[in-house]
Amino acid sequence: MRFYARRRFVQNSHAKNVLPVRASKMRCSRIFYDGTKYIGRRGDMKMRTMILTALMTAVFAGASYAQTEIPNRAIDMDGFLKISRDAAEHRSTRRLTEDQFIAMSKKPGVVILDARSKAKYDELHVKGAVNLSFPDITVDSLAEMFPDKNATILIYCNNNFENEPSAFPTKAPNASLNLSTYISLYSYGYRNVYELGPLLDAKTTKLELVKGIQ
pLDDT tens across 92-147, in order?
999 999 999 999 999 999 999 999 999 999 999 999 999 999 999 999 999 999 99
Domains of the chain: 8-67 (no CATH), 77-210 (3.40.250.10)
CA distance 146 to 123: 24
> Between residues 213 and 87, which one has the greater pLDDT?
87
pLDDT tens across 5-63, in order?
444 444 444 444 444 445 444 444 454 444 554 445 555 667 677 777 777 666 655 55
> Between residues 16 and 155, which one has the greater pLDDT?
155
Alpha helices in 11-40, H assignment, sequence order: none
Whether pTM > 0.85 for this model: the answer is no
pLDDT tens across 156-173, in order?
999 999 999 999 999 999
Q: What pLDDT does 27 receive?
A: 47
Question: What's the pLDDT band for 4 if we cut at 50, 70, 90?
Answer: very low
> Between residues 79 and 20, which one has the greater pLDDT?
79
Assess contact for 108 and 151: CB atoms under 8 A: no
Q: What pLDDT does 157 receive?
A: 97
Residue 193, strand partner residues: 153
> Residue range 177-182: average pLDDT?
98
Q: What pLDDT does 41 receive?
A: 52
- CA 87, 90, 93, 96 torsion: positive or negative? negative
Q: What pLDDT does 51 receive?
A: 76
Q: What pLDDT does 28 receive?
A: 44
| Nearest one of 197, 193, 174 to 185, comparing CA atoms | 193
CA distance 51 to 6: 30
Q: What pLDDT does 23 receive?
A: 45
Which amino acid appears at position 152 of this protein?
T
Residue 182 has pLDDT above 70, yes or no: yes
How far does CA 72 lie from the centroid of its chain? 21
| Nearest one of 119, 112, 206, 98 to 169, comparing CA atoms | 119
- Quick one: angle between helices 177-187 and 77-91, nearest 10? 110
